[in-house]
Amino acid sequence: MPLPPQPSPPAIVSPAPPSQEAENALLEAYDWGQVLPAASKLRGSAALDYQWLRAAATFDPAHGLPVDPFMPGHGRREAEALRHLLKTPKDQVGSALKALSLRKSGTALALWRWGQLQVREGRFDASLRQSWEDCLLGTGPALTRGYALRHALCWALAEQDEGRFSALRSSAGPASEAIQSGFQRLFGLLGGPSPVLRLWALPALDYHDLRLDQLSSRRIWICPLEEPSVRAMPAGTTWIIPSATGSGDEREANLSGPLRSEAQALAAKLRGAARTAFFAPSRAAFESLGLTWFPILIDLDSKGSIQSIRMGDAAPAQP
């Protein structure tokens, strides 16, 4: 009788080198808006790469350039090419993007932060914006590739560009399937009625099961309340305030515990400012539709069907 097969030895996972650990820690802190670590133990080229990444995370993309820490050589050429691109006239940016290397994580992060500002301020047309997105999607750390994919998907939805969406789906890896599926659901909402949401009127604190076209507005602004003041909505716009925790069950007919406290605090602020809004306690209800990044501006047509959805990176700064 043959001997039973022996189990395979457990795979040995080598720890990440200190330079990679330091880079990951900085990118995570940047993503969460936390104080950036110093990583003073790094030496040599790893220290220079880290300084470049830190410079990319802290420079002012509106008025300055990231400081180049490199001595003459490969790292210097890439950093200087990036710095040159950030000063390049708009009609030459496309060709500069094609020639740019993103071997350094700092280069990718600086390019992301600068390009994001160009888009927000309307300096990139659709073609240039997509070239910038594609450059970031091709290489660089997972964080900037994820940022670029989110940005590209938000704009494909806002422009209702199914060709762009299809191309992004084909090029992105399986790790992004959940994100892409959410956008697929949102594309499916365009031109049709909205699903029913359970919303709590503020400041009255009573709930209603409503479609968006039953909110008596052609424009729906979904955005957390921003301190310190309560913004007045433009005429014809209804404000939905998502819960900070989103822990509510969309089927519940009562708010309890922290959700009730959150709703009561919002109601008091809105009452004091003579404003009204709706409170959405369930994150799951939004996520099931694909509405995952705020702010979100939804426009309805004259029949109450969803005409457009501008979400996250593609949403306007104001309703």
pLDDT digits (tens, 9 = 90+) for 59-115: 999 999 999 999 987 779 999 999 999 999 999 999 999 999 999 999 999 999 999
Residue 13 domain flag: no
> Is residue 242 over pLDDT 90?
yes
The C-alpha atoms of residue 34 and residue 235 are separated, in whole angstroms, by 37
Same domain, 27 and 58: yes
Among 188, 216, 234, the domain boundary falls at 188
> Is residue 2 over pLDDT 90?
no
Helix (H) or strand (E) holding 62: none
The C-alpha atoms of residue 42 and residue 58 are separated, in whole angstroms, by 19
- pLDDT per residue as tens digits for the range 10-61: 444 445 678 899 999 999 999 999 999 987 789 999 999 999 999 999 999 9
Same domain, 206 and 172: no
Residue 94 domain flag: yes
Mean pLDDT score of the chain: 91
Same domain, 143 and 23: yes
Range of the domain at 232: 197-314
Domain count, the chain: 2
Percent of the chain with pLDDT over 90: 77
> Is residue 206 over pLDDT 80?
yes
Q: Which two tokens stand for residue 275?
A: 């404003």
For residue 72, what pLDDT is reported?
A: 87
User: Would you call 299 helix, strand, or coil by DSSP?
Assistant: strand
Among 188, 221, 239, the domain boundary falls at 188
For residue 228, what pLDDT is reported?
A: 60
Q: Which two tokens stand for residue 234?
A: 């433009």
What Å distances lie between residue 184 and 176, 188, 284, 308, CA to CA? 12, 6, 17, 14
Mean of the pLDDT values across residues 262-272?
A: 94
Residue 281: is the preceding peptide bond cis (ω within 30°)?
A: no
